[in-house]
Amino acid sequence: MDALNIKGTGETPNIIFDKEANKFEITGKSLPEDVKEFYNPVLRWLKAYADDPNPKTIVKIKMEYFNTASSKMILELFEVLNDMYTAGKDVEIEWHYMEDDEDMHDAGNDYADMLDLPFKMISYQHIAK
């Protein structure tokens, strides 16, 4: 299965879904002009992966911001992972948020409340440049 590697921009997140390297990450900002066009290939890849997943799948989410339309698509991605988990697969979400970003913390908790799969909340500090 080929890796999915979408380079992030100021409007779209960086996405690395690589079965062979066992690396699943979505980072950055998500406010694409056409949210379905952007996320549909990601959803298709994840559904194909769900048919034959790795023994353990940890999806790392480290978003600075996402708009409402993106939040719905992220939930769709999580629902595929949730279905894998309820089917007995070892799946976990790592939700990384900046320690003083209440919105991202709350968003992670909201997703965790909607899903059955393990959700690990991980805060980090902003590193000054």
**CATH classification (class only), 4-124:** alpha beta
Question: Which residues are 119's β-sheet partners?
Answer: 93
Distance between CA atoms of residues 45 and 63, nearest Å: 20
Nearest to 15 by CA among 6, 124, 106: 6
Calculate what percentage of the chain has a pLDDT beyond 90.
96
What are the sequence ranges of the domains in the chain?
Answer: 4-124
Check residue 126 and give its pLDDT: 72
Look at the pTM and tell me if it is higher than 0.85: yes
Query: Which strand (E) or helix (H) includes residue 24?
Result: strand 23-30
Q: Average the pLDDT over 15-40 and give the result.
A: 97
CB 112 within 8 A of CB 104: no
Higher pLDDT among residues 85 and 127, named by residue: 85
Q: What is the pLDDT of residues 76-126, one digit of tens each?
A: 999 999 999 999 999 999 999 999 999 999 999 999 999 999 999 999 997
- Residue 41 pLDDT greater than 90, yes or no: yes
